[in-house]
Each structure stands twice: as C-alpha cells, then as structure tokens.
Structure 1
Amino acid sequence: METNIVGVGVSISDRFRSVVEEKVLRIDTLAPRAQRIDVKVTHRAYHNGHMEDSTVELTLTGRGPVVRAEAVDADKFTALDLAVDKLAEQLRRAKDKRVDARNHPRGATYDKGSGALEGIDLEPASADIIRRVATGEISVVGEGAEDEAYTPVVIRVKRFGAEWMTVEDAVDRMELVGHDFFLFIDARTDSPSVVYRRKGWDYGVISLAAQAAPAELAS
C-alpha cells in the first residue's frame, strides 16, 4: 500500500516516517484492498506559543469508499497512535456489519405503491429550522469566513457533491468515515436525507420533503 505523509507547520522526521510505516502494516491487514493511505500532520500553537498540539489525519483510499480518522494530542506520535486505533476500529466495525448483514439482513423495505419506508426510524425535517435559516435568525458562515460578530448559533458550511445511495449504503459510509451522521440523497425517494447514529447498532434517518408546504413555513 502506498503511503503519503504531509506536514503542515511541522517537519516530518525519518523517525516519524518509520513509525508510520510500522502502523501501516496493521492497517494493511485490516484493509487488504486499500491502495493508498495519506497521513497529514498539522501543528498548531496557541496563546503566543505557550500551548501546542498536533492533529494527525488518516485517509484510506482504494477499492470501495474512503475511510478517514483523525486525532489530536500534544505529541504527534501519540496522535498518530490514537488515529490509527480509530481507523482500525472503523474498519473492524465495517467488517462486523458486513458479516451481520449476511447473517441478519437489514429489515428496511420500500413500498413502491405507498412510498413508505419501513423498518427504520424516520423523522420529518423541522420546518422551524428552515424558516429560521431563511429569515436570517440563524447565521450561516461559509468555511474560511471570519466571524465579524458573536452569535450563539453558527452553522459552518461545507459543500460536497451529491451522492445517490440507499439508506443501508449511507449507514456503511458513515461508519467508515467515523462520523455520527452522513448526508446523502436517498436513491429510493430522491429525497435529501441524513442517517445518524443512535445507540449500539440503532440508526435513524431524517428525510427532507421535496418542497415544504407554505402553511408549515408560516407556522
């Protein structure tokens, strides 16, 4: 597996490179189909240099979805250990889910006649949140923009290309990137949707209707 190491605000020593190569062997056994791992080390100093930390980000690419993990610590070697542990755990969970899916197929079913999706928790999107964003009550700050004034609620925006997939595939992708939610477009309904983690192996889905009714927005 190809390894690429980049340092931001910090030089990458030969010792760190050798440790990374050792850790990659562990990942290689868990993801034999992976073709490349990118390691990004970012060093930050706060309060005139009195406080420092390092962030290690791991991105695994190959045949299949991208897998990511990151960790922060004052020592970059410790951050690397933590990030590798997270990545390994995500790969193990994904493998366990594949085995569990083969033995116990997930029960989410879509009724083409009624348009109902059963076997998974569904919640409607909040019309109140849509109204508050539309009226500017909740400020939206683009990534990289400076906060000119304090506001108790700030939404930072990241834009990604839309991906159509099933709810089940979205849950798998969420597990692989190590997040508690995953935004996608439901291939069954063409609705913008979010899967999110609940407890254990339980997940929920928030699905946005194609168009909110005017009465709902006014309420």
Structure 2
Amino acid sequence: MNFNIRGENMQVTEALRDYVEKKIGRLDRYFESPLPTDVHVTLRVLRGESTIEVTIPLTGVIIRAEETHDDMYAAIDLVVEKLERQMRKHKTKLIRKARVDNSRGLVREAEPVAVADYLEDVEIDIVRTKRFDLKPMDAEEAVMQMDMLGHSFFVFQNSDTSDVNVVYRRHDGRYGLIEPK
C-alpha cells in the first residue's frame, strides 16, 4: 500500500505517520498479494476533536471510514476497526458471488482471497423500499427541502444537468453533493 497522509489544522509528526501506516497496513492480511493502491488518509483537528478519514479505492468499490475522538491515536484505532469490518464484508460478498457463478457453470475471475479471514457471515436484510417522484431543482433548493424534512440526505433531479443527485449533511455540519460521473 502506498500511503498519502495529510493533515488539516495540524502537523503530521513522524510518530503519527508511522502509527497510521502500521495500523492501516494490517489490512494487507485480507489479500493474498499486497495491494497496489493508494490509501488516502486525512488527519484533522477541529475544536479539540481529532478526526481521521481513510479512503481505499479497490477494484469496483471504495472502502471509506471516518472516526472522531478526543485522542488521535484512539481515532486511528477506531477507524481501523471500521475498515476491517468493511473489508470482511466486501470479501465475503466476492466469495459468495464467485460461488454462485461457479455453481451456474460460469467461470469468473475474482480477486484472490483467503477464506479463513472471513469468519463473520454477513446478511443484508432490506426491510423497506420507498418510491417517489424526483422533482427537478437545484442543489440549494434540495438542501432546503432536506432541512425542512429533518433528513440527513435528499435525492433529487438536478435541474441543470437532469441527472439524479444526492445532497447530504456532513458530520461537521456542512453539506455535500453526490453527482454521477
């Protein structure tokens, strides 16, 4: 793994850099060969709280986790736990898909994985489906609608591009916009 570590409102010390690389480097054990990907890590301190944000782009999926704590080292430990859960879930999904394809007689190339690493059996249970009409609006109007409804995200059709977009409330109180490529 190649690490891209940067700090916001703080200086990233060598000890902190080593700790991040050591802890996140443990995720290599979920793969039979080392990951040839960049790991993007952002460390930030805001109002006395330390936040770490980690993004790992993999083939077909992006593994991302964020954690906030009073102590940066504790935040790093917590974010690694989240990342490990996501990696196990992703690998279990790949294994299941490969098994289903093989049972149908299809040959599918999957990433090499070690089955022993996936002790947790992950079940996804969708309990509700919601359908609604998308009203064309701009992002600012979508944020106002989201706030009026008291939701943390809002799906809308962008009146400028006609694409489906999502606005969401970030942990820091600001807003984000998700657009398709």
TM range (shorter): 0.5 to 0.7
Task: Indicate the residue corresponding to 2:158 in structure 1.
Answer: none
Q: CA deviation at 1:159?
A: 2.9
**Is 1:153 aligned to residue 155 of structure 2?**
no
Aligned match of 1:61 in 57, 61, 71? 57
Query: TM-score, length-normalised on structure 1?
Result: 0.50
Where do 5+ consecutive residues of structure 2 fail to align?
A: 102-125, 155-166, 168-175
Q: CA deviation at 1:75?
A: 0.8
Task: Indicate the residue corresponding to 2:29 in structure 1.
Answer: 29
What CA deviation, in whole Å up to 9, does each residue of 1:145-196 have, x standing for no partner?
xx8xx8453654513224xxxxxxxxxxxxxxxxxxxxxxxxxxxxxxxxxx
Q: Secondary structure at the match of 1:92?
A: helix
What CA deviation, in whole Å up to 9, does each residue of 1:53-89 have, x standing for no partner?
1110111135443221111111111111111111111
**Is 1:89 aligned to residue 114 of structure 2?**
no
Distance 1:19 1:76 in 2: 10
The alignment covers a number of residue pairs equal to: 130
Distance 1:38 1:134 in 2: 34
Query: TM-score, length-normalised on structure 2?
Result: 0.59
Q: Is the 8 A contact 1:35 1:63 kept in 2?
A: no
Aligned match of 2:131 in 109, 125, 135? 125
Q: Is the 8 A contact 1:71 1:80 kept in 2?
A: yes
Aligned match of 1:140 in 139, 142, 145? 142
Distance 1:134 1:102 in 2: 40
Distance 1:85 1:9 in 2: 25
Distance 1:86 1:30 in 2: 14
Q: CA deviation at 1:11?
A: 1.1
Q: Is the 8 A contact 1:3 1:37 kept in 2?
A: yes
Distance 2:97 2:58 in 1: 22
Task: Indicate the residue corresponding to 2:72 in structure 1.
Answer: 76
Q: Is the 8 A contact 1:28 1:34 kept in 2?
A: no
RMSD of aligned residue pairs (Cα, Å): 3.2
Q: CA deviation at 1:34?
A: 4.1
Q: Secondary structure at the match of 2:61?
A: coil
What CA deviation, in whole Å up to 9, does each residue of 1:12-69 have, x standing for no partner?
1111111112113201222433421111012111xxxxxx211101111354432211
Higher strand share: 1
Larger Rg: 1
Instruction: Return the letter of the residue paired with 2:69.
Output: D
